[in-house]
């Protein structure tokens, strides 16, 4: 066994925390080591943590939390750090409890369709571990090759196939959670459904790491569909594309996925690592997938082709084999990063609208782009109305970050105004705290912070996230700007 690495800090807390996790190899506390943890996938905002600790099991997490609780040290959990709203950013010089060492697949029970994982287990690894038996884990965020299931639970992550199969919360059967005072609780033990009592499983999922630290997760696994067919459809007009989306949904088909990209997005994905030859001069491409019993698939594909033709599609094609399907999906799933090929920086937004409002909202976003002088690409889950406007900007140009933030916020306002919401899967985090007021009244926000108080009364766990500070609207905006420009 390696010798215990000495702690070079005089800070008593650092020494104690190190002792809990078995010494200096499982803790970072020097500035140069902490820099990598000053933000997550939301890179506009940066803060250094006090330390980063790497517990190996639930007991260590509980001991760390208990220590922080007793000594009033702010703390938060971190998975892979791919969150896009700043949930894992240590705003208050938190002790970061990293879950990456707790990454085991604990058990798989095909007969009862469930698996038990530790929170640091990477999403895609689960599907990869069970695919030989014909099973998979449904929630598929585009970041699935690296994000953790613990992070997915915290954010209630979605993905392209959530249209038919639901988001993370629809697939979580049980959780082990370390409460903010260090108590360990188990909800939905063994994955038994409908446990009597209020649905804490549903409440904790999507609470962005503010109600407890998840240390074990029982998930539902599904059998692969017997057949899958994937269609690409190119439209000369965005409005025709959006109309086709509505028509497909109202024809009684529930596609597994129904994705859309606009012209700017197409320019990005075609310039990046996984081009598939989308024509450059079209306004919208739809990627549509149906799955299920083989005998019923052709009928659905015919219907979809018919709908697209009725909406003046320029070209529509069905993937000929798994390889082609894979290429189309790689092109789509790497879409955010692809913006790097056409812009130095980009900001991802995440509004949701009633599907029928798609044409109007895309128009309004276009207007916002014109007014701000920034290009906005749209890559989104059209089937469930979850938009991802990507605001392209250059952080080196003075004032552009602020402009990008404003344009992003304006897009969310549009979504809220048509009866939608400000986030469909990326969470509120730091980024959209103020925008919570677009959709909730003060009283409705208080109803939520009341719940937080029951779980997290000292508010040491991931404080300052998710909710606007009451009455401090202006100050917070200033604070945001200050930390942006620093």
Partner 1 sequence: MVTAELLTELKAVLPEVKITTEENQVTLFPHTEEQIAEIVKYCQEQKKTICIIGGGTKSKVGTSNERVDINLSLSEYTGIVEHTVGDMTVTVKAGTRYEELQEYLAQHKQKVALDPSWPRDATIGGVIAANDSGPKRLGYGTARDSVIGLRTVYPNGKVIRSGGRVVKNVAGYDMNKLFIGSMGTLGVLSEITLKLRPLQKCESLILLSFSNGNLDEVRRFAVELLDSMMEPVALELLNPAMAEKLVEQNAYTLAISLEDVETSVTYQEEFIQKLRPKNAELTILRKDQAASFWQRLYTAAPSGCDPDTSNENNAGTVALMKIGVVNLSVLEIARECQLLSDQYSVKAEAHGGLGTGICQVILHGASEDVAQSISRLRVFAAELGGYGIVQYLPESLNGKVDVWGERPSYFRLLEGIKAKMDPSRIMNPKRFIGGI
Ligand X SMILES: Cc1cc2nc3c(=O)[nH]c(=O)nc-3n(C[C@H](O)[C@H](O)[C@H](O)COP(=O)(O)OP(=O)(O)OC[C@H]3O[C@@H](n4cnc5c(N)ncnc54)[C@H](O)[C@@H]3O)c2cc1C
Residues 301-360 that bind partner 1 (CB under 8 A): 352-356
Largest CA distance in the chain: 72
Structure tokens at 331: 């092109």
If the CB atoms of residues 20 and 163 are measured against partner 1, the closer one turns out to be 163
Q: Which residue in 22, 23, 182, 225 binds partner 1 (CB under 8 A)?
A: 225
Instruction: In angstroms, give the least distance from the CB of 441 to ligand X.
Output: 24
Question: Which positions ≥6 away from 47 have C-beta within 8 Å?
Answer: 38, 39, 89, 90, 91, 92, 93, 483
| β strands within 179-279, DSSP E | 184-187, 213-220, 222-223, 227-235, 257-262
Q: 273 is written with which tokens?
A: 């690592």
* Footprint (CB under 8 A) of partner 1, residues 279-298: 292-296
Question: Measured between alpha carbons, how far is 210 from 456 in angstroms, rounded to an integer?
Answer: 7
Residue 381 contact partner, candidates ligand X, partner 1, none, CB within 5 to 8 A by sort of partner: partner 1
Which is closer to ligand X, CB of 274 or CB of 316? Answer: 274
Which three-class secondary structure state does DSSP give residue 49?
coil
- Min CB(432)–partner 1 separation in Å: 8
Q: Is 224 in the site for partner 1 (CB under 8 A)?
A: yes
Residue 143 as a binder of partner 1 (CB under 8 A): the answer is: no
Q: Which residues pair with 219 in a beta bridge?
A: 115, 172
Min dist. Cβ of residue 175 to ligand X (A) = 9
Query: Which candidate, 84, 81, 148, places its Cα nearest to that of 346?
Result: 84
- Does the protein bind partner 1 through residue 205 (CB under 8 A)? yes
| Binding at 143: pick from ligand X, partner 1, none (beta carbon under 5-8 Å per type) | ligand X
340 binds, among ligand X, partner 1, none (CB under 5 to 8 A by kind): none
Q: Which two tokens stand for residue 312?
A: 């003046």
Contact of residue 113 among ligand X, partner 1, none (CB under 5-8 Å per partner type): partner 1
Among 35, 192, 397, 473, binds partner 1 (CB under 8 A): 192
**Binding test (CB under 8 A) with partner 1, winner from 118, 240, 400, 425:** 425
Question: 75 pairs with which residues across the strands?
Answer: 95, 461
Closer to ligand X by Cβ: residue 208 or 267:
208
Judged by CB under 8 A, does residue 196 bind partner 1?
Answer: yes
Least distance (Å) between residue 173 CB and partner 1 = 10
Beta strands in 132-226 (DSSP E): 135-136, 172-178, 184-187, 213-220, 222-223
Q: One symbol per residue from 147 to 166: x for binding partner 1 (CB under 8 A), - otherwise; what is it?
A: --------xx-x---x---x
| Distance set, CA 475 to CA 324, 465, 479 (Å) | 51, 15, 6
- The SS3 of residue 431 is coil
Q: Total binding residues for partner 1 by CB under 8 A?
A: 88
The least distance separating partner 1 from the CB of residue 471, rounded to whole angstroms, comes to 18
Distance CA 202, CA 148 (A): 18
Cβ closer to ligand X: 29 or 42? 42
* Contact partner, 230, from ligand X, partner 1, none, Cβ < 5-8 Å per class: none
Q: Which is nearer to ligand X, 142 or 230 (CB)?
A: 142
The rounded distance, in Å, linking the Cα atoms of 146 and 82 is 8
- Among ligand X, partner 1, none, what binds residue 238 when CB lies within 5 to 8 Å by partner kind? none
Tallying the residues shown for the chain, one arrives at 486
**Which one of partner 1, ligand X, none is in contact with 476 (Cβ closer than 5 to 8 A by kind)?**
none
Q: 384 touches which of ligand X, partner 1, none (CB within 5 to 8 A by kind)?
A: partner 1
Q: Are 133 and 103 in contact, with CB atoms under 8 Å apart?
A: no
Residue nearer to partner 1 on the CB measure, 225 or 337: 225
Pick one of 1, 12, 132, 197: the residue that binds partner 1 (CB under 8 A): 197
Q: How many CB atoms lie within 10 A of CB 95?
A: 25
| Beta-carbon count within 10 A of 109 CB | 13
Q: Which does 380 bind (CB under 5 to 8 A by kind): partner 1, ligand X, none?
A: none
Interface with partner 1, residue 428, by CB under 8 A: yes
For 469-478, letters b (16+ CB in 10 Å) and e give eeeeeeeeee
In the complex, minimum distance from the CB of residue 111 to partner 1, in angstroms, rounded to a whole number: 6
Token digits of residue 83: 């969150």
Positions 437 through 456 that interact with partner 1 (CB under 8 A):
439-440, 443-445, 447-448, 450-455
Contact positions vs ligand X (CB under 6 A): 40-41, 76-84, 87-88, 99, 119, 141-143, 147-148, 150-152, 154-155, 157-159, 208-209, 213-214, 336-337, 425-426, 462
Angstrom distance (rounded) from CA 378 to CA 241: 13
Q: Name the β-bridge partners of 218.
A: 116, 174
- x/- string (CB under 8 A) for partner 1, residues 252-271? xxx-----------------
152 binds, among partner 1, ligand X, none (CB under 5 to 8 A by kind): ligand X
Task: Give the shortest CB-475-to-ligand X separation in angstroms.
Answer: 23
Min dist. Cβ of residue 356 to ligand X (A):
23
Please provide residue 112's backbone torsions phi and psi, each rounded to the nearest 5 degrees.
Answer: -100, 10
CA 446, distance to chain mean position in Å, is 25
Q: β-strand 284-292 against 213-220: which pairing, if any?
A: unpaired
Torsions phi, psi of 181, nearest 5? -100, 0
């Amino acid at each position: 066994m390696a010798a215990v690495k000495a702690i070079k800090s005089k800070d008593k807390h650092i020494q104690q925390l190190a002792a809990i996790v078995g010494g200096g190899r499982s803790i970072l506390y020097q500035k140069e080591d902490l820099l990598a943890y000053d933000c997550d996938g939301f890179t506009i905002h940066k803060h250094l943590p006090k330390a980063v600790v790497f517990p190996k099991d639930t007991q260590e997490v509980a001991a760390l939390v208990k220590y922080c609780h007793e000594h009033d040290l702010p703390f938060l959990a971190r998975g892979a750090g791919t969150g896009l709203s700043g949930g894992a950013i240590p705003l208050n010089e938190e002790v970061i409890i990293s879950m990456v060492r707790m990454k085991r697949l604990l058990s798989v029970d095909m007969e009862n369709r469930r698996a038990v994982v530790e929170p640091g287990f990477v999403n895609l690894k689960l599907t990869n571990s069970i695919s030989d038996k014909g099973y998979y884990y449904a929630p598929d965020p585009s970041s699935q090759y690296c994000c953790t299931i613990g992070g997915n639970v915290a954010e209630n992550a979605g993905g392209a196939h959530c249209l038919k199969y639901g988001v993370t919360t629809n697939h979580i059967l049980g959780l082990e959670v370390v409460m903010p005072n260090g108590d360990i609780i188990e909800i939905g033990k063994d994955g038994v459904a409908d446990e009597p009592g209020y649905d804490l499983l549903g409440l904790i999922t999507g609470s962005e790491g503010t109600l407890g630290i998840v240390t074990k997760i029982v998930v539902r696994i599904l059998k692969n569909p017997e057949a899958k067919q994937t269609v690409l459809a190119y439209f000369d007009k965005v409005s025709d594309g959006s109309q086709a989306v509505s028509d497909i949904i109202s024809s009684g088909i529930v596609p597994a996925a129904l994705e859309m990209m606009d012209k700017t997005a197409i320019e990005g994905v075609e310039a990046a690592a996984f081009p598939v030859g989308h024509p450059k001069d079209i306004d919208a491409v739809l990627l549509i997938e149906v799955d299920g019993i083989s005998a019923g698939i052709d009928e659905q594909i015919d219907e979809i082709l018919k709908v697209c033709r009725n909406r003046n599609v320029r070209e529509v094609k069905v993937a000929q084999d798994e390889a082609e399907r894979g290429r189309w999906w790689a092109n789509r799933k790497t879409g955010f990063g692809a913006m790097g090929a056409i812009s130095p920086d980009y900001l991802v937004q995440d509004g949701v609208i009633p599907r029928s409002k798609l044409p109007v909202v895309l128009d309004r976003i276009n207007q916002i782009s014109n007014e701000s002088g920034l290009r906005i690409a749209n890559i989104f889950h059209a089937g469930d109305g979850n938009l991802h406007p990507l605001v392209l900007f250059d952080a080196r140009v003075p004032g552009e970050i602020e402009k990008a933030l404003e344009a992003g916020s304006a897009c969310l306002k549009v979504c809220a105004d048509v009866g939608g919401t400000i986030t469909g899967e990326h969470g509120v985090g730091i980024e959209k705290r103020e925008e919570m007021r677009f959709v909730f009244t003060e009283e409705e926000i208080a109803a939520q912070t009341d719940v937080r108080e029951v779980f997290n009364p000292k508010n040491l766990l991931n404080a300052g996230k998710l909710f606007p500070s009451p009455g401090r609207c202006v100050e917070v905006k200033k604070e945001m700007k200050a930390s942006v420009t620093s």
